[in-house]
Amino acid sequence: MSALFEPLRLRGLELPNRAWLSPMCQYSAGADGVPTDWHLVHLGARITGGFGLVLTESTAVSPQGRISAADVGLWSAEQVDGWRRITDFAHAHGTAIGVQLGHAGRKASTMVPGHGRGSLPPEQGGWPALAPSATAYRGFATPVAASTTELDRIVADFASATERAVEAGFDVVEIHAGHGYLLHQFLSPRANHRTDTYGGPFENRIRLLVRVVDAVRAAWPDDRPLLVRIPGTDWVDGGWTPEESIELAVRLAGRGADLLDVTTGGLDPDQRIPVGPGYQVPFARRVRAAVPGVAVSAVGLITDPEQAEAIVGDGDADVVLLAREALRDPSWPLRAMARLAPRRLTESYPWQYSRAVPAPSTVDLTK
């Protein structure tokens, strides 16, 4: 049996394989943050495409936490109803679905991609961005340094969004603490210049994320898994380091995180990333070695079925997340299955597409 197509159990949820859809912003919600027909069709294609778990794009826990005015959210009952339409579709087709909860911090209130760059001007509906410190991401407006009262509210917003995720029918929640958004900003000395209990030493910089993890885990049912996306490195001097990632992973493993989704970069425009196939996999490998009791995922330029199979089969990660490749090919897992685990094809194809199942003569049935 292919390692990529072995099931994985996280708490009370069994996922049929280890090829999952990575969260990817679509910037296609209305001003109310409700998912639209685009989200149903976009996620629906991957729901029927064989992914073991489908994760939504980063979903804002508050209006202020949106990256752009076209972001989806989970702060209202109307949004719950919009997501329920999509989770019902997933469950009707036997696919698990998770929501990634996030807050953009100093990268909030930006122009919608394709409609401009940089921060959205106030006269066009922009709003003040909150951050650890009043230090802008280059090219963006200067944010407001969050008060401790505002940080308390943000923790509560994550908890409330988690409760709405239960109402919306999600199977998994992921906390987004990577890609230069708010929780990552607190982790990194390049963005966090505070002198209170949320800044300075490692213990202080991880404080907000730890509080969010505790609040989300308390609001999330015990039988459902919690994922946390963490940075492996900032790729810049004076930033977050791989050693800090490992120490953070150990802490989160003891606080109810069931899978650590290891990514890199996005915090500082001075980053220098040696981009290439699987370039982030070594960071996942190190975290997995440090926390053997917790699952770890790898993401980043994973495109080929044999490449994904090797990552899981060699023990570099428990799961691979597909991003751009999944945009190009919504049925990537079915294509990979035809090459790696052809005996699973008939049970995995939607019956409406059964005429497209590759004939046995075209695949190697010895695998």
Which ranges in the chain belong to alpha helices (H)? Answer: 37-47, 77-92, 148-168, 182-187, 202-205, 207-219, 242-253, 281-290, 305-313, 324-328, 332-340, 345-348
Q: Which residues make Cβ contacts (< 8 Å) with residue 114, sequence separation at least 6?
A: 27
Q: Cα–Cα distance between 102 and 29 in angstroms, integer?
A: 16
Q: Do 108 and 185 meet the contact criterion of CB atoms below 8 Å apart?
A: no
**CA 178 from chain center: how many Å?**
8
181 in active site: yes
Among residues 27, 137, 181, 198, the one annotated as catalytic is 181
Q: Cα–Cα distance between 180 and 160 in angstroms, integer?
A: 23
By CB atoms closer than 10 A (0-12, 13-18, 19+), residue 202 is middle
Q: Cα–Cα distance between 132 and 146 in angstroms, integer?
A: 6
Q: Identify residue 317 by its one-letter amino acid code.
A: A
8-state DSSP, 33: -
- Structure token pair of residue 277: 């196939």
Q: Nearest 5°: phi and psi at 207? A: -55, -45
Q: Cα–Cα distance between 261 and 244 in angstroms, integer?
A: 15
Helix%, strand%, coil% for the chain, nearest 5: 40, 15, 45
By CB atoms closer than 10 A (0-12, 13-18, 19+), residue 213 is buried
Annotated catalytic residues are 181
